[in-house]
Amino acid sequence: MLLPDLFPTSTAFAEATGWKIEPHGACKGDLCLPLAPGTYREERVDAATVADRLGMAVVPAEGGGLWAIGPESFSGRALATVAAPDLKLQTFDGKAFALSSLRGTRMVLVAWAPY
């Protein structure tokens, strides 16, 4: 989940993470975890506080302006940094392409597998 600030609407938080913020806590399916008072105010969610409660990593993007919030991980943090590994791929015309050539540029990486 990428956020421009750490106080998204509860609807945006639920759509991005699958965790619905309700008066009694954050819920996903049958699992509900209580949240501290003040975590949810005026349709806005304190994403950093909720992420910490759910075991999600919160990492600022270099240069500011965006925050990455990783998936829940109740046994530890799953996302340690927003830096992607340097992937080296072959383009359709056979030339080499390194992901690092896009350093400093915001991008979305989409992966697909047919299985």
| DSSP result, the chain | -EESSS--BHHHHHHHHS-EEETTEEEETTEEE---TTSEETTEE-HHHHHHHHT--EEEPTTSS-EEEPPP-TTS-S---SPPP--EEE-TTS-EEEGGGGTTS----------
- pLDDT for res 93: 93
Which residue ranges make up each domain of the chain? 2-81
| pLDDT tens digits in sequence order for the chain, 115 residues long | 788 888 999 898 888 888 898 877 889 888 888 888 888 887 889 988 888 888 888 888 777 778 888 777 765 555 556 666 778 888 899 999 988 888 888 878 787 778 7
pTM of the model: 0.58
